[in-house]
Amino acid sequence: MATPSASYEQIAMLVKSMTNFSATRLETAREEEQARLADQKLAELAKQMANEGRIKELHDAFIAARNSLDALPTARASKIVRTLVDACLNAKGQSFNEKEALCVESIEWAKGASLLYLSRSLRSRLVRLYNDIGKNVEASKIAVELAKELRKVDDKELSIEVALEESRAAFMLNNFSKAKTALATARTASHGFYTSATMQAQLDLHSGILYATEDKDYKTAYSYFFEAFEGFVQIGDKERATQALKYMCLVKVMLNESDQIRSLLDSEACQPYVKEKHILAMRELAVAFKERSLARFQKCLETYPSELNDDHVVKGHSSKLHETMLEKEISRIVEPYAAIDIKHICEKVNLPLDRIEKKLGMMILDQTLRGVINQQAGCLSIMSPPPSEDVYLKASDLVRALGKVIDACQQSSTMLFK
C-alpha cells in the first residue's frame, strides 16, 4: 500500500501532468485515453486516501494542486474538484471537521475562479454533510439561499437535490409542514425530467419517512420504502437498502403486522441484508410484539441502542411503540381471567398503579379491552366478547334470497294466467 506522502505527491503530480494534454481541447484518441486513465487514477487515489482516513491530506493535496487547476479547462477542473470532494464526503467514520474544511475550501476556490456551477454543486454537498452530522439549522439556511439561486438558472437536477436536503433538514428540526413543501417541490421538479436511480430512491425513502411520521399513513409509507429498497438494491447501495428494509419492518410493526416480518425477511431479495444489525434489531422487535412481552421489548432497546434509540425515525415512533407494547402486555396478562386485581397487573409490568389505571381506562374507551374498572375493589372485570354477527348476516342474506324467489314465482304465475 502506498505511503501517505506517496499518495499525496501522486495526486499533486497527476493534476499537474493533466495540463500537458488538457490545457487545450483534446485532439487525438491517444490523448482522450490518457485523460480517461488520469481521471480513473485520480479517483482511485482519492478513494484510497479517504478510506484510510487521510482526509487532511486530501485537503492539502487540493491546496497544492490549485495552481495546476487554474491552468485546466473549466469543465476538467470542476470534475477534479468534485472527485476529491466526493471521495472525502463518502469516507465512513472520518472526522466531520476535516470534511467540512475541504468542502468550504473548495467552495471558496470555486467562487474565486468564477466557477458558479461548481460552487453551487459543492454547496449542495455541504448541505448534505451538515444534515448528516446534525447541523440542520446551517443546512436549512444554505439550502434556502441556494434554492433561490437555482430558480433563476433553472438547474432541475441540482434543484431536486437541494430541495430534498432542505426537506431533510426541516424534518430533523420537526418542521413537518416545511419538510412536506420542500419534498413536494423536489418531486414536482423530477416529473418530466430524467432523475437518476439514486436520486429517485432517495426521494422515495424520504417520502416514506414523512408519511410514516407526520401523516401516520403506514401503508403508503410502506409502498415508498419498498420502492426505495428496490432502487438501492439496483444501484448496489447496501447501506441505504438496509435502511429502507429496516423502515419496512418498522411500518409492519406499527401496522400490528409483525408476524409478516419473518416472511418478508425470508424473501430472496432480502437475504443479503438479514444479518445486518439494523435488521436483526427489527427482527427482535417483531418477536417482542408477537409474544406481547414488554420486558423483551425493553431488552431489545437495550441490546440495539444505536440501531433503535439513535435512529431519528425509529425514535420518533418510540413512544407509540412503547404504548402499543404496553397494551399488548396488559392484554396478555388479563386474557385468562374474568376478573383480575389491578395491583397484580402493576407487579407484572413493573409500573405504578395510577399509570396502569389510566392505561386501562384508555384501552376501555378505545374498545381494545372489554371490561369495567371496579375502583372500590381495586380490580378489573373482563366482559365476555359480544356474540358473532355472522348468524344475523346469514339470516339477512337468507331472507333477501327468499324475497327474490317469491318475486320470481309471482312473475311466473302472472305469465301463466294471462
pLDDT tens digits, 260-312: 898 899 888 899 999 999 999 999 988 888 888 888 888 888 888 888 888 88
What is the pLDDT at residue 86? 80
In this prediction, the residues of the chain whose per-residue pLDDT falls under 70 are: 1-32, 34-35, 66-68, 70-71, 92-95, 385-390, 416-418
Q: Return the pLDDT at 54.
A: 74
Position 6 scores a pLDDT of 42
Report pLDDT for 3.
Answer: 46
Cα–Cα distance between 12 and 68 in angstroms, integer? 9
Taking only the tens place, the pLDDT of each residue in 28-72 is 556 667 667 777 777 777 777 777 777 777 777 777 776 667 667
pTM of the model: 0.76
User: Which residue pairs, CB below 8 angstroms and at least 24 apart, start in 284-287?
Assistant: 285/249, 285/253, 285/258, 285/321, 286/249, 286/252, 286/253, 286/258, 286/259, 286/261, 286/262, 287/258
Query: What is the DSSP secondary-structure string of 121-172?
Result: HHHHHHHHHHHHHT-HHHHHHHHHHHHHHHHHHT-HHHHHHHHHHHHHHHHH
pLDDT at residue 14 in the model? 64
Q: Which three cell numbers stand for residue 321?
A: 411503540
Distance spanning both ends of the chain, measured CA to CA: 105
Q: Rounded distance, CA 343 to CA 325, Å?
A: 19
User: What is the structure's pLDDT at 1?
Assistant: 40
Please give the grid coordinates belonging to residue 403. 324475497
Q: What is the mean pLDDT of the chain?
A: 82
Which pLDDT score, from 0 to 100, does residue 94 have?
57
